[in-house]
Amino acid sequence: MQRTDLLDAREAQQTYERPHWAVRAAQWIVTTWRPDAGWLVLLACIALAALPPGALGENRLEDLRTIQVGLDLAGPLAVVATWLWLGWRRPPTPVRARPWRALGAAIGILLTGLLVLSDMLVGWAPSIAEVVQAIRTNGWTALAQQAINDWMVMITRFGLWWQGVRAGGAAQDNLIFAAVVGTAFWLAGAASAWLARRVRQGFLAAAPVLWLMGTMLLYTPAGRGLMLTGVLLTLALHLLLDQETLVRRWLAAGLDFSPSLYFDRLVASATIVALIVFLAVVTPNWYVESLVWGYYGLVEPAEQRLNDIRDRLFPNLRGTSRLRGGGTLDGMPNEFLLGAGSNLGDKVVMYVRTNDSIGYEDLYGGAPFDLPPPPGHYMRGVTLTTYDGRGWSNPPATTRLDYAANESWSATEAAGRKQLVQSITVLVNSSILYGAPEQVEPGINYDAEVRADGDLVALWSRARNYTIVSSIPAVSEADLTVAPSWGPDLPLPAGYEIHLELPDTITERTRQLAAEIVDGHTSLYARAQAIEAYLRQYEYDLEVDEPPRQIEDVADYFLFDLLRGYCDYYTTAFIVLARLSGLPARFATGFAVGSWDPLDGAWIITEAEAHSWPEVFFPDYGWIPFEPTAGRPELARIGLPVARSVAAVPLPPPTSAPPPEQSLWNWQLLFWLLPLGLATWGALRVIDNWQQRREDPWHGLLRWGKRSGRPLADGETVLEYGRGLASFIVEHQTQAADTGRVAAREVTALSNAVNHLYYAPDNERANAGAQAVEHWQRLRGYLPRLRIRR
């Protein structure tokens, strides 16, 4: 008997044993962190907010959804953010009771949406791996700079897009469209969550999401399943909120109620919904067609206006074909043969706006014609590398891959570069994406054709309006001069040997000429500059005849017989001489800068700007363009203080490790002060740029000379002070002697320009003032790197 009782006690103990710890933890989370209105209401709102992205796909805009898959989460994240800002567990308070709390929550929801959507679009927030790397290497500055660069690119693209809208038609930028769509998703999800918390009416809470989804599905026969799902979720949300409201009332009044009442209402509602759906499927409706046509007739005038606005804001909204077609600018032929001078007219080929031209007319106070234009850039289309004596072509073994919008084709980034954002409108038939070299990130879907890693042939797309980000050279002559040379200790990357190959048609006198030109020049840049300077002595002439058929090598013919020609001849001769001197070079073709339109804030490029130029491959810096054509101005080499890419420069090791007892305090201080520091740094940069644009060059030079220990002496003229300060820099510069010489040359040129501005005739002063501004802008890039010994 006792044994039997003991067994019964053990069985009873096992029967009432506590659940597993995981089950208890889940129960604690569900109970303790139960949101206001319950988990089911929150999940129903999240499910509703996730429906509009599906409607976007049904409307044949799935290509645009691939810009950032995270946009599908914008609506659900907005619901969660709204719940948090209104108080996760706190019941709603009347807006009239605490209006400031409601206003603060609304502002918080909008700011959260700005941060979340911007990260979805450009990925400015660092990953966990990047944060860990920054902790290990003390690389917070580089991490912050990367985030700021991402924000600036996004802001610039919005500025270029809006500038195009104001001018009558924006360039197609899928990033902008994704931002607009993501904002709509966020606002709809936040509005639904807000109404669910505040009003407690399911039909009203679901209205923003259903309206957005219905708008997207209005002009497509698909998507009925999504709309039906939305209606069912709306009914479920209404039932849940109504039950929650009734339970609160019953509890407040102290009334008893059956817990099974909720299940009974759910079964009754599901039965009614199923009956309605069944009748809607099997019962014919004789009024649908008349209702639809009546609705279309009602909204037709507004629809036409909306379509015009859509075409102005987002041309080519449905994407572009990737097939290559034919046309004026449809790429290079199989062979690019040098022949007679081309007969090019004044037909406009494209309009180009850059981040340098944003707000130009506002910045200069309505007098843009009296001031110099912003920097212009060559628009490159195609590069070629194989020379056969008569022309240029590409090897057959090129690789062509397709990329999504805002995806870079290159996995590496060269040093000495800065980002340039361009908004381009092409007015002729073309399948090439033009841009300042090196084009890296178009804002549309595209194909990239490459010969080797980092060796771009061309970018292909049929878009006429697009935004593209380029990585343009921002390296000074001093940096290029000290760049190492290719050789056994520094071999060329794999696949780049083709840029040194030459045909058997190269003559002995061409080889001798190359040796004579580069004799005494050891660096890559010195050799390239010597070749460039030599070729610029030849006469520029567009009216040349096609080379005779017996000519086997066009470069030899141009150098020794023709002695004149246009850009293709100059470029060919440069590349041949460069390759003979050990410089890897390629043939680039596209368009020159064009003319600046200050009223429209854009560069106008015509057929007459069709151009070709050589590019030389440098260690670390990548492809650097040169201009040997005598009919074109020389290229300016401007190195910026922050020109080097953060990814290309190794982070310096920390000088000393902080004491262990201070590390926690330091991290907390960094956590709170980092946003403030970034905002302060950005404001200072904006103020510095603004002051730089309005600073008088001569007064700025005088201030710098005074701080450096060489002030203006009594009775000293402008030219005397310029020569004296230049000598002072050369004599007292302790580091980077080349930088000191370049800065001294700019100081002398600036003093000459200021002297002309003061004493030249009136008709020459405007040009002198522009030259003074140009020299001062270049000089400001060198002054911070000078180390003056007093």
pLDDT of residue 433: 92
Cβ contacts of residue 575 below 8 Å, gap of 6+? Answer: 387, 585, 586, 587, 614
pLDDT of residue 331: 34
- pLDDT category, 666, cuts 50, 70, 90? very low
pLDDT of residue 637: 79
pLDDT of residue 676: 55
Cβ atoms of 50 and 24 within 8 Å: the answer is: no
- pLDDT category, 360, cuts 50, 70, 90? low
Residues paired with 757 in a beta bridge: none
Render pLDDT for 91-130 as a digit per residue (tens, 0 to 9).
666 655 567 777 888 888 889 888 888 888 777 888 787 7
Considering only residues 739 and 304, tell me which one the structure prediction assigns the higher pLDDT. Answer: 739
- pLDDT category, 196, cuts 50, 70, 90? confident
* pLDDT average, residue stretch 569-587: 95
* Range in 68-77, 573-582, 732-741 with the lowest mean pLDDT: 732-741
pLDDT surpassing 80 at residue 655: no
Q: How far is the C-alpha of 413 from the C-alpha of 440, rounded, in Å?
A: 10
Q: How far is the C-alpha of 309 from the C-alpha of 231, rounded, in Å?
A: 31
Select the highest-mean-pLDDT range: 30-44, 521-535, 762-776. 521-535
* pLDDT average, residue stretch 304-325: 50
* Range in 364-378, 395-409, 631-645 with the lowest mean pLDDT: 631-645
One-letter amino acid of 159: G
* pLDDT average, residue stretch 276-296: 56
Cβ contacts of residue 580 below 8 Å, gap of 6+? Answer: 502, 506, 510, 511, 514, 515
Q: Please give the share of the chain, as a percent, with pLDDT higher than 70.
A: 71
Buried residues in 328-356 as b, exposed as e (16+ CB within 10 A): ebbbbeeebebeeeeeeeeeebbbbbbbe
Select the highest-mean-pLDDT range: 138-152, 304-318, 355-369. 138-152
Considering only residues 510 and 238, tell me which one the structure prediction assigns the higher pLDDT. Answer: 510
pLDDT surpassing 60 at residue 643: no
> CB burial class (10 A; 0-12, 13-18, 19+) of residue 316?
middle
pLDDT surpassing 70 at residue 674: no
Supply 780's token pair: 């400001």
Reference 212, options 228, 241, 192; nearest CA is: 192
- pLDDT category, 664, cuts 50, 70, 90? very low
Supply 98's token pair: 């605490």
Supply the DSSP symbol for 490: B
pLDDT of residue 329: 41
pLDDT of residue 442: 92
Reference 591, options 471, 392, 436; nearest CA is: 436
Cβ atoms of 470 and 414 within 8 Å: the answer is: no
Select the highest-mean-pLDDT range: 10-19, 558-567, 686-695. 558-567
Long-range pairs for 670-675: beta carbons < 8 A, 24 or more residues apart: 670/140, 674/140, 674/144
* pLDDT average, residue stretch 223-237: 78
